[in-house]
Structure 1
Amino acid sequence: VFSLHYYELGATISSLVSAITLSNQDTTKPRHTKFSSSTAEPGSGSLVTPSSTASKDKDKGVAVYRYINSNSGTTCILMKTDAVVEVKFLMYNLEEQADSFIPDKALVDGNCKNEDASFISISWTGYNLVLNFAKTPGGERWYIKNIELTVSPDLPQFHNIKTHGKPIKLYHKETLIPTPVGKSYSCQEVDIDLETDEDDHPPPGLKGSLLLRLLQLQPFMYKGEEFESSFECKPQKSYPDETAPIAVGSTLAIAVLMTVTGYGIFRYFKIKNVQYNTME
């Protein structure tokens, strides 16, 4: 009888903990798009080189950035996105933020001479964004090797930030979006953190983000002028802090354990006492 009570107790606690834990898993990360609240940087004065193009995609309202290989005259890097750059910095110990859309009329440059490494450079008023691409050793996948953002501190939104005469520089030095060669990468939204390099002696509190909405990207293109079949990103999942649910569940489980154990002990000794009295 006593062992049966413990078996029932174990099953009850297991079901209880499972119900508490599973209800807190696989919660979709909420969108935090910041494009609508950002101030667009005018593209006046921007140029397009003869070997590259930047244009607006009328169907989706996103810009298309195309770098053409000067040797072959064909497209080697193609990117389509609605993008904005965010730069945060401290001014009088208060955090300021300067946002700039990457305009559809921009200077597009790059290099595709190396079969295993290439880059695209997009420049607009006061800004330059460089994406470096590479292939895995076996040449099976391509990826973004690193990103570098250079910003002029003379832009009005930076309020004469002190940079010792140097431009503002932000980086992302970790690899991103590994994709099979011959396919484009497609994602509804990509949010990339940008950080400083201490060797640049950056001003305090400097950091940034590159937000890419409706992104489609493909380097190392050898045939055709349009994107090949896409490799779509997986939806991001967020897992909320489960400390509180687990604490409540643990407390409840302990209370149930103590109650059932106490009852089991009481029943055990009561039965023993009855048996003892019967024997007398």
Structure 2
Amino acid sequence: MARQHLVTLSKHIVVFCSLLCLVSSINLQNLPTYKPRTVKPTVAAPTNVTVPAPGEGVALYRVTTSNGDTCILLKTDAVVEVKFKVHGVEETGDAYIPEKTIVDGDCQYGDSASMRISWSEYVLFWEFAKTPGGDTWYVSNIELTVGTSLPAYHTIRAHGSHFKLVHNNHKMLFPTPVGKSYSCDESVVHLEAKDKEAKDQGLSGSLLLRAFQLQPFMYKGADFSQSFECNAQLRFRDETAPLAVGSTLAIAVLMTVTGYGIYRFLVQGNNN
């Protein structure tokens, strides 16, 4: 009797675990996987700038070494946006980054580099670094400097004639294997003010990068290397996170039910 009871219980365990795995694979896909999501902000078009048509307005910015070799390459159709408050009311100023700009930078070090894009009264400064192992590059800092002489920012109080917004440099941006370029249809970098006076005025900003491709530490060619796409990263996380959670839950339930079955078998064996 004890043996027949164990066989019956084992069959129930197999059926239960099969149903559990099936349900987990269906429902767990809707659980949050804590992946970064590409946000599509509402960016008002400047009244004095013509909005480029789809596929137009993509510019290429290049930093070269003293020997003429390309060391940093950036391609994008980008918009910078600045938000601030005037008498408690939020105002917005924004501008497209034009194709014709002043581009310079520093590539003399093997594990760090920088790029500066200047136009009108705007300066967009990028800093790049490598991880300690040297196998991954990333953007370590982004700074946007804006002149208050621009009509949109006359009401902003700043030290001197400019104010600055920076990326939270505690976070690595666009980590990519060395030797590859980072590519994304759309990326958003949020910028914030650091000094108290700027924060009191509600100063903040964002950098919207469309048709975006970036690669620093280039010394073997003048064009982008194989791209490391942000969408591929999101797909990988989407597929692996629910599978890992579902498998862990199924194993835990299987161990619990099996333990209970062994316990019942031992108890009934002692009673018989």
Give me the TM-score of the superposition, normalised by structure 1: 0.66
Greater alpha carbon shift after TM alignment, 164-173 vs 178-187: 164-173
Structure 2 counterpart of 1:68: 64
1:213 paired residue number:
210
Is 2:15 the partner of 1:32? no
Q: 1:179 aligns with which of 167, 176, 181?
A: 176
One of 228, 233, 253 as aligned partner of 2:230:
233
Q: Is the 8 A contact 1:143 1:176 kept in 2?
A: yes
Partner of 1:197: 194
How big is the alpha-carbon RMSD for the aligned residues of Structure 1 and Structure 2?
Answer: 3.7
CA distance in 2, matches of 1:203, 1:121: 28
Partner of 1:128: 123
Q: Any conservation in 1 of the 2:149–2:161 contact (CA below 8 Å)?
A: no
Q: Which has the larger radius of gyration?
A: 1
Shift of 1:61: 3.8
Residue 82 (structure 2) aligns with: 87
What per-residue deviation string (whole Å, max 9, x for no partner) do you get for residues 108-154 of structure 1? Answer: 01000111100110001010000100011111011001111100011
Give the alignment of 1:1-280 within 5 angstroms.
Answer: 22=28, 24-25=30-31, 32=40, 34=42, 37-39=44-46, 61-69=57-65, 71-172=66-167, 173=169, 174-198=171-195, 202-234=199-231
Q: What count of residue pairs does the alignment treat as equivalent? A: 220
* 2:108 alignment partner, SS class: strand
**Greater helix share, structure number:** 2
SS in 1 for 2:134: coil
Contact 2:39 2:187 in 1 (8 A): no
Other structure's SS at 1:137 match? coil
C-alpha separation in 2, matches of 1:202 and 1:186: 33
Contiguous gaps of at least 5 residues in structure 2: 1-11, 239-272
Deviation at 1:166, TM superposition (A): 4.6
In structure 2, what is the Cα distance between the partners aligned to 1:19 and 1:112?
49
Unaligned stretches of 5+ residues in structure 1:
1-6, 43-57, 240-280
When normalised by structure 2's length, the TM-score is 0.68
For the 8 Å contact 1:79–1:216, the answer to whether it is kept is: yes
C-alpha separation between the residues in 2 aligned to 1:223 and 1:30?
31
Number of the residue aligned with 2:5: none
Shift of 1:23: 7.5
**Are the equivalent residues in 1 in contact too, given 2:158–2:197 (CA < 8 A)?**
no
- Measured in 2, the distance between the counterparts of 1:86 and 1:34 equals 10
CA distance in 2, matches of 1:135, 1:41: 40
Q: Would you say the 8 A contact 1:103–1:124 is kept in 2? A: yes
SS in 2 for 1:114: coil
1: CA distance between counterparts of 2:112 and 2:125? 13
Report the Cα offset of residue 161 of structure 1: 1.5
- Which AA in structure 2 matches 1:128? V
Q: Give the conservation status (yes or no) of the 8 Å contact 1:168–1:202.
A: no
CA distance in 2, matches of 1:19, 1:175: 32
**CA distance in structure 1 between the aligned counterparts of 2:127 and 2:174, rounded to whole angstroms:** 12
Q: Distance in 2 between matches of 1:59 and 1:125?
A: 24
Question: Runs ≥4 in structure 1, deviation > 2 angstroms?
Answer: 17-35, 58-61, 198-203, 234-237
Taking structure 1 as reference, are residues 41 and 127 closer, same or farther at Cα in structure 2, changes over 3 Å only?
Answer: farther
- Deviation of 1:31 after TM superposition, in Å, equals 5.8
**Helix, strand or coil: the match of 1:157?**
helix
Task: Confirm or deny: 8 A CA contact 1:78 1:217 kept in the other structure.
Answer: yes
Amino acid paired to 1:134:
A
Give distance in 2, aligned partners of 1:183 and 1:41: 37
